[in-house]
Structure 1
Amino acid sequence: MTASRKAVVVGLSGCSSSGKTTLARLLRDIFPSAFVLHEDDFYKAEIELPKNNGLLDWDCAESLSIPDIIKSLKHIHGSGTLPPDLDSKEDQNSVGECPVSDTTVAELKARVKTWTEEGNAGHRILTDTSDPIRLCVFDGFLLYSKSLISVQPHIDIKILLRVSYAKAKARREARSGYVTLEGFWKDPPGYIDKIVWPNYVEDHKFMFEGDDVEGELKKSVVDDWKIAFPPGGLDVDMTTTLTWAVELLMEKLSGYVKLA
């Protein structure tokens, strides 16, 4: 990290309904000085969205303003804060009941608090009140696709969440819809099978053995791109994922030295 950077950006990516936003909000609540940036807040106006199979396609790179994403990440690295003109629509969307118990969240908060205390590896990383290095959790469905290759140099720690087709479909169909610039969007019939899952496969198959996004990740790709992922394969429960992510971030963040 250079002296000019005031934040560490951790990217959470994966298919729609893989648990990204839930995990992002939990990490924000557990780590001091943390905040969330949502890729979904960079959608273009609905009139500019491409169509696919006769449907508006919200699940492709062409639907996003990539220059605005990069501009925001540069601002975050430079100031340690969200851009002042960012009006988050994603924060208005519900992610449902928290799947992690209050007890587990409290235990992880205590674990992180101890880590930040004097004499421990996390001291002065996030809690230096004069000039802290803050943690930005950036969640998005396309962060590690080749179409967003220009965004990746602005992500310091990369995490990929994996989900099966069956689980992703069930979770997405359970949602009431999404707040947008124009109002509210509800998936039309067939949207998951015509848009969401095929796009996810097309953008991520290069990362998997035999192009099977429900199979094994290619070690050469995840090593080269420095992507971490929860152990246990598909559909890892959120308690296990959160505990793993907290330990990973403490380990990674301990490598950042507060620069004068």
Structure 2
Amino acid sequence: MKVLVIGLGGVTNGGKTTLAEKLKNMLPNCDIISQDDFFKPESEVETDERGFKLYDVLDALYMDEMVTSIHNWMKHPASPGVVAEEPENMCDNLKNVHILIVEGFLLYNYEPLNELWNRRYFLTLPYEECKRRRSTRVYQPADTPGYFDGHVWPMYLKYKNELEENASMQVDYLDGTKSQEELLSYVYSDIIQELNKLREENQRVTS
């Protein structure tokens, strides 16, 4: 059995969750783990001197539990959902490949995760569009006045800069202002290429 672990990271409100769900419906044997499921309770999240809850940092998340969940999935992939059809160019010996999409805003700045990825994608948005989208969402707890400019956006830039400075990390940056259809088409095709690489490797091993 082979597994393919795909990272879908990037900016808040960049379309990560929507894209992940659409990919799951198109890809064979595909599951999703969401980083948002590993947030600490509000009482355990640090508050700064401005009264901002510091949610957009690694310390606000149970990252060790997230890594454990991914490792557990890799050992025992969940049962696949119903897929309408499999890609035409997928050979029989890859129908047992299981795909995990991990989506979240801070995937590539935590070293224990970086040894797991087969592919890394990072959605970006310009400031104004990100702020506009964020204003349409309702969070618990709700964003306080100035929270986006005072915490959310600066932390996004900080972690994105760290990522860009890491020359050894291969990341595919995606423009989040493009349509969901265009993003889906690109990422889906890219993942199929990864599956085909597995096919070629498998053929070399078995020939």
With structure 1 as the length reference, what TM-score do the two structures score? Answer: 0.69
SS at the partner of 1:36? strand
Q: Which runs of 4+ in 1 moved over 4 A?
A: 257-260
The reply to whether residue 12 of structure 1 matches residue 8 of structure 2 is yes
Is the 1:9–1:154 contact (alpha carbons within 8 Å) kept by the matching residues of 2?
yes
Q: Secondary structure at the match of 2:188?
A: helix
Tell me the matched-pair count: 197
Give per-residue Cα distances to partners, 1:68-96, cap 9 Å, x unaligned: 011111111111129xxxxxxxxxxxxxx
**Identity percentage of aligned residues:** 23
Q: 1:249 aligns with which of 187, 191, 196?
A: 191
Q: List aligned pairs for 1:156-195, cutoff 5 A.
A: 156-177=118-139, 184-195=140-151
Q: 2:108 is matched with which residue?
A: 144
1:55 partner SS: coil
TM-score (norm 2): 0.85
How far apart, in 2, do the equivalents of 1:171 and 1:124 lie?
43
Aligned partner of residue 168 in structure 1, secondary structure: helix
Aligned equivalent of 1:105: none
C-alpha displacement at 1:185, in angstroms? 2.8
Q: Which residue of 2 aligns with 1:199?
A: 155
Measured after TM superposition, the shift of residue 140 of structure 1 is 0.8
Asked if the contact 2:15/2:176 (under 8 Å) is kept, the reply is no
Name the structure 1 match of 2:53. Answer: 56
Per the alignment, residue 225 of structure 1 pairs with 169
Cα RMSD for the two superposed structures: 2.3
The answer for unaligned runs of 5 or more in structure 2 is: none
SS of 1:35's partner is strand
Kept in 1: contact 2:14–2:176 (CA 8 A): no
Question: Matched residues in 2 for 1:249 and 1:55: separation?
Answer: 38
Q: Any idea what SS the aligned residue of 2:5 has?
A: strand
SS of the residue aligned with 2:9? strand
1:144 alignment partner AA: Y
Following superposition, the deviation at residue 136 of structure 1 comes to 0.8
In the TM superposition, what is the alpha-carbon distance from 1:206 to its structure 2 partner? Answer: 3.2
- Residue 239 of structure 1: how far off its partner (Å): 1.6
Q: Which residue does 1:70 correspond to in 2?
A: 67
Q: What is the deviation of 1:6?
A: 4.6
1:124 match: 93
The aligned amino acid for 1:243 is: S
1:246 alignment partner, SS class: helix
Give the distance between the partners of 2:163 and 2:179, measured in 1 at CA: 22
- Contact 1:51-1:57 within 8 A present in 2 as well: yes
Counterpart of 1:237 (choices 139, 159, 179) is 179
